[in-house]
């Protein structure tokens, strides 16, 4: 059933009201507190960046590090020596670091269990986990990461390129905004937190298919797609505006770009494959569009990707 004229007018009025809320600053973003960062190692070349990021973030956020790994049982002795050596090196550098040895049948079970045991606020791990980067096509992130992203109750920072340094990752963040939900706001808060010594650019995306549907309903008003998009983007403007304002308060360079089109393509085009970090909101089992974005973006970029989840009690 199509939208009637009154329905269309109500829809437009609601967008205008949302735009006015942005001007009144009704979106309040709070910087999350980070006490513990969990580093999941896999003895790959990507561990160096996982450890380096952990070291830098522990210093910036005054957080402790917990090292772990979803190693198979046959690698238990080797893994224990490996993780112990990494922990001791961090401690010699003045970092508060410890190690936990998880239990479970699968690698993802062990890592997910350690999240709860360590009471971690952020998980950093290589992607793919226990698989060579080149062994996966553009359709897969690997089983371990796939399950961790779906079940984790905390933000997951996925490291992709072992040649990057922490500054390559933290120097430029790209925040994707395609709706305004508690998870989207949480993603914005994490992006602001991690961009404190870099730059943050927000990308507000409206799916072209949605534009076309509403465009048909508004055909009598003879809008151009650009004019229509400007109206549609008002749904995203409050959050984007709040991001810019918060960045101004902490003196972080920030910009916002509004585009229509496929979410994944827009995100990949904006990040440009130049490194940095892409920040996405998390998803649950019912959120197929959100899941698709994360699963499609991660295999197609060398940038680090932060998928922001929320702890139990804070989920939508």
pLDDT digits (tens, 9 = 90+) for 140-171: 567 788 889 889 999 999 998 888 899 999 99
Question: Residue 152's pLDDT is what?
Answer: 92
Return contacts of 97-102, CB within 8 angstroms, 24+ apart: 97/58, 97/64, 97/65, 97/66, 97/67, 98/64, 98/65, 98/66, 98/67, 99/66, 99/67, 99/68, 100/66, 100/67, 100/68, 101/68, 102/68, 102/70
CATH of domain 31-159: 3.40.50.620
pTM: 0.85
C-beta neighbour count of 35 within 10 angstroms: 12
Where are the CATH 3.40.50.620 domain residues in the chain?
1-28+160-316, 31-159
User: Which CATH homologous superfamily contains domain 1-28+160-316?
Assistant: HUPs (3.40.50.620)
Question: How far apart are alpha carbons 83 and 290 in whole angstroms?
Answer: 34
pLDDT digits (tens, 9 = 90+) for 188-246: 999 999 999 999 999 988 877 666 666 665 665 656 655 665 666 777 888 988 999 99
Question: Residue 259's pLDDT is what?
Answer: 82
Question: Residue 316's pLDDT is what?
Answer: 38
Residues sharing a CB contact under 8 Å with residue 56, sequence separation 6 or more, in sequence order = 166, 170
Question: Residue 251's pLDDT is what?
Answer: 95
The mean pLDDT of 88-113, rounded to a whole number, is: 91
**Burial tier of 34 (Cβ tally within 10 Å: 0-12, 13-18, 19+):** buried
Question: How far apart are alpha carbons 41 and 28 in whole angstroms?
Answer: 36
Q: Is 42 helix (H, G, I), strand (E, B) or coil?
A: coil
- Would you put residue 92 in left (φ > 0), alpha (ψ -120 to 50) or beta? alpha
**pLDDT band (50, 70, 90) for residue 312:** low
Contact 310, 183 (CB under 8 A): yes
Question: How far apart are alpha carbons 15 and 12 in whole angstroms?
Answer: 5
Question: How far apart are alpha carbons 60 and 194 in whole angstroms?
Answer: 9
């Amino acid at each position: 059933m199509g939208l009637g004229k009154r329905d269309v007018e109500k829809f437009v009025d609601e967008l205008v009201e949302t735009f006015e809320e942005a001007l009144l600053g009704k979106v309040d973003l709070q910087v999350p507190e980070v006490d513990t960062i969990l580093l999941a190692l896999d003895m790959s070349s990507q561990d160096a960046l996982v450890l380096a990021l952990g070291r830098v973030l522990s210093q910036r956020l005054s957080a402790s590090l917990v090292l772990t790994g979803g190693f198979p049982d046959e690698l238990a002795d080797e893994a224990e020596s490996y993780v112990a050596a990494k922990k001791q090196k961090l401690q010699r550098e003045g970092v508060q670091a410890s190690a936990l040895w998880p239990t479970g049948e699968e690698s993802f079970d062990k890592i997910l269990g350690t999240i709860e045991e360590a009471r971690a606020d952020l998980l950093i791990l290589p992607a793919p986990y226990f698989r060579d980067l080149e062994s996966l096509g553009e359709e897969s992130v690997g089983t371990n990461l796939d399950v961790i992203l779906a079940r984790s109750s905390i933000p997951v920072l996925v490291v992709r390129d072992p040649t990057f340094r922490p500054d390559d990752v933290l120097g430029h963040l790209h925040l994707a905004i395609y709706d305004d939900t508690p998870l989207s706001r949480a993603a914005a808060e994490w992006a602001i937190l991690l961009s404190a010594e870099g730059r943050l650019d927000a990308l507000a995306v409206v799916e072209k298919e949605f534009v076309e549907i509403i465009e048909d309903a508004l055909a009598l008003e003879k809008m151009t797609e650009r004019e229509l998009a400007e109206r549609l983007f008002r749904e995203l403007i409050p959050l984007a505006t709040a991001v810019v304002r918060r960045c101004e308060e902490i003196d972080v360079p920030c910009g916002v770009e509004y585009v229509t089109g496929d979410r994944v393509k827009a995100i990949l085009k904006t990040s440009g494959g130049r490194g940095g970090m892409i920040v996405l909101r998390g998803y649950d089992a019912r959120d197929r569009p959100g899941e698709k974005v994360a699963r499609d973006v991660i295999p197609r970029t060398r940038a680090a990707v932060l998928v922001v989840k929320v702890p139990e009690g804070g989920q939508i």
